[in-house]
Structures are given as C-alpha cells and as structure tokens.
Amino acid sequence: MFPSDLHQKIKESAIIAVLVIDDAANAVPLARALLRGGIGAMELTLRTDAALDALRAIRDEVPEMLAGIGTILTTDQVDEVVAAKAAFGVAPGLNRRVVEYAQDKGLPFGPGIVTPSDIEQGIELGCRTLKYFPAETAGGLKHLKNMAAPYQHIGIDFIPLGGLNANNMIDYLSSPLISAIGGSWIASRDLIAAQDWNQIEANARQARENADAARA
C-alpha cells in the first residue's frame, strides 16, 4: 500500500517514466533529462543488473527525483530494493508472498492486476493503488472501467502500463480511475544507451504537456 503522501506525489506527477537501463553511469544524466522535461517520477526495472546501482546513483545525486523499482518478483529482490532505498516498488503481477513481504519490510508496493480476481486479492492485502498491466493488450481503458466498476466505492486507483504512448495517454489520465500512467516510450532502452538526453527531454516535455492538458 502506498502512504498518502507518496500516493499524492505520484498523482501529482501523473507520469512515471518506466526505464530499462544497461549502464548505471547513464542514470544521473537520464534523471536530469527527465526532470528538465517535467517528469519527476521513474520506475527502474529489474530487467538488468544495473538497475539498483542506477537507483543508488539517482538517490545520491538527484534526490528530487521520485525513484522506484519495478519487476520485483521475489522476496530476495524486495530486500535488495529496500537496502537501495527505493521510494516504492511495483510488480507485473500479484504474488501474495512478495506483497506481504514488501509490506513487512515497509516498502510501498503496487502489485500488477489484469482481472477482477487480481483486484480482489489486492484489496484483501490492503493495496489501494494497483498496476494495470499489460494495459492495452488486456483491453485498454474500456476494459479497466468495466472491470473496476464494482470496486470504485472502496477507493482504489490504477497505474496503467503496457502500450501507452503520447497518443492515448490523455484518455487514460482523464479518467478518475488513474492516479498516474507508466510510460516506457519516453526514455526507451535504445535512447538511454545512445545517451540521447535531448530527445528524452523532448519526449518528457511532450508527455508533461499532454498530462497537464488531460487534467486541466
């Protein structure tokens, strides 16, 4: 479960840049490029060995960036993420053991959901912000609205990820179901590897403009 202050920061950010980083040396200039473009939250995925070192570098040198870790699949990874002082953690699915362990360790955690049964498991575990993944493949915003309807009175919201882009993000962010969106197109793996900070900044700025328009 996300504490209220963290939840508010994520909601105000509206966009979480989802990142696959291969070289931790790119972490700080990447974070600064995103901030210049108006994005102040990121999820570094544990798909590469560089993710935790990247997180540590950002925490030390760009503390204004809200930096979390994604693709947390095991309790051992929870320990590593907590030790690296991630602001939050998320997972592509809902593993009860991992969620409960993260809660025990004090790590704000958003499990992934794609079915009503997933939502109910999340609710039972005390989670009120859930990752909707893979959003577009699963049926997009229309599917989410229908699926979430029986649970809205409980006060849950969602962070969709998977297939979102500059063209459809406004529709998502216009929905009261959405606290923020996850965007991997803003700083793709190739752009990061090429150290194309100007393009990443431009993508971030466009996403920020779209988010502001959606919530105006």
Q: Is 61 a catalytic residue?
A: no
How far are the Cα atoms of 27, 30, 184 from residue 189, in angstroms, in the given order?
12, 11, 9
Enclosing domain of residue 124: 4-214
CB 95 within 8 A of CB 122: no
CATH number of residue 178's parent domain: 3.20.20.70
Give me the catalytic one of 131, 136, 145, 201. Answer: 131
Catalytic site residue from 9, 12, 43, 142: 43
pLDDT tens digit sequence for 166-186: 999 999 999 999 999 999 999
pLDDT of residue 101: 98
Phi and psi at residue 35, to the nearest 5°: -65, -40
Counted domains in the chain? 1
Helices (H), ranges, the chain: 4-13, 27-36, 51-61, 75-83, 96-104, 116-124, 135-138, 140-148, 169-173, 189-193, 197-214
Known catalytic membership, residue 131? yes
The confidence score (pLDDT) of residue 216 equals 87
Is a pLDDT exceeding 90 seen at residue 63? yes
- Report the pLDDT averaged over residues 201-214: 98
Task: Give the pLDDT of residue 167.
Answer: 94
